[in-house]
A and B are shown apart, each in its own frame.
Chain A
């Protein structure tokens, strides 16, 4: 009788496990990174809704549990460790590189795949077989923007970066690539998060007389920097990456953002039908325009779905192994929005975009096709 009862309980548990699949979503819901974290979490939740509406993954309904990292690396490590006790299928997040660097060891220890929005180069260079990006890291995207600057005739530059993991990684990658291209880095200026006044950096940039400014700071600070540049009448071109060109910065900086140019991995302005459909669904649900982080969160969920379906189960180890050197096309899974290839480290290769800001709006000036240089293409 006792054995029968245990068998019934076990069977009931197994059937429950097949009914739903848990994703934990560590994100910067509060603290200084809340703008990006909430975009990311909203993108993930929208993806879960779409997946569930289409029948779930392998018949199981997706359950997401958002965990607030408070934009604090130690807290992110703690919430992921606690979340992993529930044996989720995957960890989807966080975005801030400073957090990912310290928390990715938890998912690795639990042999659970982790998709992150972080871009610091070092994340995928540590041999962690369970970490996966959702957009190019700095080592993939910075070479594109520096090449673009060289093509625009820039020969000298001032780098203004934020003094955190994200900014330091971007600065290092930029210095290396500018060096390779023969662009003279005249000055590197460190700034702080929540910095109020950028006049000192702007005056330094004027004084050294470079051809351009390469800005690599967080969202709100990017807006303040652009306003300070406008106030000081700086006319030299300003280049940057996804953050500088993001919708948040455009909303905050107003006409001070006009003329800024650069390269982005993802943009809601991308001339791609699937991206426009995603954007419309996101705006209808949340009432604001998604930024690249929302798109990354959305894509992460569909990559996880596709891999579970390829493996045929929620075997986490098999999914992580399978994803390395894999190509996922939009024919395989439309939710990935654009074809995406993973290399052996968890870095990705995907079409990217050249952007310039005109009349306060992102205008796509060019599409850089996928490099097709990963092991997935060989």
Chain B
């Protein structure tokens, strides 16, 4: 029974973690190529889900066509316009003004969403109708399986694109050293723009996967952004792979902590403690531990600077 529950927790943790990973990868990508820490990332995801719902209602189309249309809208607004209007003018002043600007942007998006779509949470259709599959006592929803599969396909395709294509490798080169990339003849500005477009694609994909579970609500971006940021720091801000694993780690650890802390049996006594109110602290403790002992993240690349 205990093993079965453990596997069940692992599977549901992976399903949630896969979505966190998608969010975190976009975070890490933007940081690597343009030095942008986008605190509006969660709001990008949140509003993408509303755009999908809006398109479905407006054009009377299904979820998948609405997703692809929303993806183009997101790429234009959260990719192209975001870079041109907010990031490009502010980047030269350093990280802090841009961080403050993205926090402000997140607040504006949040309130505009509330004004246009209201404050109530809205149900969001799932890619597939959820059916419960039972494998030897393990109960897995088809929606969770599809979420994991889609997230893995997107991330694998992204890795292939970055490592195996000329454009992808140019983007990697830009991320590693923009000056050297320029000397090699790479159009650095274009590569950075591509990164923003890819991030917009990732946030729309995350919206498609996360919203059936978390519902479309104007305030949910704060949670998404916080989790993506934590996942990126834990895994490694400067490595796509790190952010990816950070997302999965948070999903799994969160689930395991909630389950096992609910009944902690003190050894050599009959005392059982219920520590479930403190489960939320476990991912945060991991975050603090990483910042203290491995600030580049568990799978991050150590960056050294000499003066």
Contact = CB atoms under 8 A, between A and B. Distances in A.
17 contacts: A29-B119, A34-B218, A34-B219, A188-B274, A189-B276, A190-B274, A190-B276, A194-B223, A196-B210, A196-B214, A197-B16, A200-B259, A203-B5, A204-B263, A220-B121, A232-B8, A233-B132
Contacts of A190: 274, 276-277, 279
A252 interface: yes
Contacts of A199: 8-9, 12, 255
A251 B124 CA distance: 11
Contacts of B172: none
A187 B262 CA distance: 8
B271 interface: no
Nearest to A286: B118
Question: Which of under 10, 10 to 19, 20 to 34, or 35 or more describes the interface residues of A?
Answer: 35 or more
Nearest to A163: B277
Nearest to A35: B120
Given A35-B119, A199-B9, A200-B262, A194 B220 contact: yes
Of the four ranges (under 10, 10 to 19, 20 to 34, 35 or more), the interface on chain B belongs to 35 or more
Interface string B256-289: 1011001100000000001011011000000000
A197 B111 CA distance: 26
Given A194-B223, A201-B262, A233-B139, 15 more contacts: A35-B119, A35-B217, A187-B274, A190-B274, A190-B276, A191-B258, A196-B210, A197-B13, A200-B9, A201-B258, A224-B214, A231-B132, A231-B139, A232-B139, A252-B215
Closest CB pairs A-B (n = 8) = A34-B119, A200-B258, A200-B259, A190-B277, A199-B12, A190-B276, A194-B223, A38-B119
Contacts of B5: 203, 207
A112 B114 CA distance: 31
Nearest to B257: A200
A199 B123 CA distance: 20
A163, A203, A219, A248, most chain B CB atoms within 10 A: A203
A254 interface: yes
A248 B12 contact: no
A245 B119 CA distance: 19
Contacts of B12: 197, 199
